[in-house]
């Protein structure tokens, strides 16, 4: 079973998103277990302080090395990590390819930063992978750690049934997914495309590929070019 540890100074941000839907189903099936660790529990400071001012006069607080080193060292006595991940905006963007690779891991550890970030020595000495989840700024690493965890967990074999297979997902083949429809065939005059109701599996498959390609070219030309090597 895959195990995920998450170290956070704001652990309450993490519980609910990991207790519902696909992630909860994966836990129920014993395909993943997740432990959340409150960084403050590892501070040896008498006021449980975990941050301090940045050297050099930069604005904002920085998570201090001691609680992070002690927490990671403690966890490393229990497990050997395939990846110690620091979600941060100053890193390469996390992709489906990265999710596919990580879904084969046994043990993953996330270190969530808050405030201005974490002391660079933690990144240099402990962290093995750094990812951003997109080009915008969030208040901390908790939401990114949840996003990355969800992307990984749903790919663990057995988590999704055949009916919800990850193979059809947007991005799995580098393209966006085709539109989907359900009953009724006509809703308030709005029709489901005829081809999807035809029962002709070859035609349906061709239609879906075409839709997928056209939609990707229209709204994500960056992805389209990567797949079709066109410029
Ligand atoms: Cl991984 N962290 C933060 N704080 N902001 C982000 C991000 C990560 N990815 C995009 N924005």
Same domain (yes/no): 8, 119? yes
Residue 130 CB less than 6 A away from ligand 1: no
What is the distance in A from the centroid of ligand 1 to the CA of 87?
6
Same domain (yes/no): 55, 143? yes
Same domain (yes/no): 48, 142? yes
Residue 174 CB less than 6 A away from ligand 1: no
- pLDDT score for 172: 82
19-40: per-residue pLDDT in tens?
A: 999 999 999 999 999 999 999 9
Give the residue from 107, 122, 153 where a domain finishes: 153
What is the distance in A from the centroid of ligand 1 to the CA of 83?
18
Residue 133 CB less than 6 A away from ligand 1: yes
Determine whether 3 is exposed, middle or buried from the number of CB atoms within 10 Å of its CB (0-12, 13-18, 19+).
middle
Task: Give whole-number Cα distances, 67 to 39, 44, 71, in Å.
Answer: 6, 7, 6
Give the residue from 153, 183, 215 where a domain finishes: 153
Same domain (yes/no): 110, 174? no
- Half-sphere exposure at residue 18, Cβ-oriented, CA atoms within 13 angstroms: 24
Is residue 160 in a domain? no
Please state the atom number of ligand 1 nearest to the C-alpha of residue 87: 1
Residue whose CA lies nearest to ligand 1 atom number 2: 88
> Which residue matches tokens 């940045």?
54
Residue whose CA lies nearest to ligand 1 atom number 7: 89
Question: Could you tell me which residue, 61 or 169, shows the higher pLDDT?
Answer: 61
What is the distance in A from the centroid of ligand 1 to the CA of 133?
6
Share of the chain above pLDDT 90, in %: 90
Beta partners for residue 117, in sequence order: 62
Determine whether 170 is exposed, middle or buried from the number of CB atoms within 10 Å of its CB (0-12, 13-18, 19+).
middle
**Report field, pTM of the whole predicted structure over 0.75:** yes
Same domain (yes/no): 39, 142? yes
Domain of 217 in residue numbering reads as 170-230
Same domain (yes/no): 145, 107? yes
105-135: per-residue pLDDT in tens?
A: 999 999 999 867 999 999 999 999 999 999 9
Q: How confident is the model at residue 59 (pLDDT cuts 50, 70, 90)?
A: confident
Give the residue from 111, 127, 153 where a domain finishes: 153
Average pLDDT over all residues of the chain: 96
Please state the atom number of ligand 1 nearest to the C-alpha of residue 91: 1
Same domain (yes/no): 115, 9? yes
- Residue 176's CB is within 10 A of a number of other CB atoms, namely 21
Beta partners for residue 64, in sequence order: none
Is residue 186 in a domain? yes
Whether residue 164 is predicted with pLDDT greater than 70 in this model: the reply is no
CATH number, domain with residue 208? 1.10.1270.20
- pLDDT score for 165: 73
What is the distance in A from the centroid of ligand 1 to the CA of 118?
13
The closest alpha carbon to 116, from 68, 60, 54, belongs to: 60
């Amino acid at each position: 079973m895959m195990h995920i540890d998450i170290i956070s100074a704001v652990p309450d941000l993490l519980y609910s998103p990991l207790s519902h839907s696909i992630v909860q189903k994966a836990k129920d099936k014993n395909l993943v277990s997740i432990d959340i660790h409150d960084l403050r529990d590892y501070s040896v400071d008498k006021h449980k302080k975990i941050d301090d001012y940045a050297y050099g006069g930069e604005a904002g607080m920085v998570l201090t090395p001691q609680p992070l080193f002690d927490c990671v060292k403690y966890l490393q006595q229990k497990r050997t990590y395939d990846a110690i991940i620091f979600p941060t905006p100053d890193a390469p963007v996390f992709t489906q390819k990265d999710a596919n690779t990580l879904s084969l891991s046994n043990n993953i550890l996330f270190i969530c930063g808050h405030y201005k970030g974490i002391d660079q020595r933690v990144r240099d000495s402990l962290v093995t992978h750094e990812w951003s989840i997109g080009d915008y700024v969030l208040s901390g690493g908790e939401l990114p750690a949840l996003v990355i965890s969800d992307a990984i967990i749903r790919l663990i074999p057995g988590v999704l049934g055949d009916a919800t297979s990850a193979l059809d997902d947007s991005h799995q083949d580098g393209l966006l997914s085709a539109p989907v429809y359900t009953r009724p065939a006509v809703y308030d005059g709005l029709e489901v495309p005829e081809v999807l109701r035809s029962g002709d599996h070859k035609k349906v498959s061709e239609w879906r590929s075409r839709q997928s390609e056209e939609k990707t070219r229209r709204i994500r030309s960056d992805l389209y070019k990567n797949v079709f090597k066109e410029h």
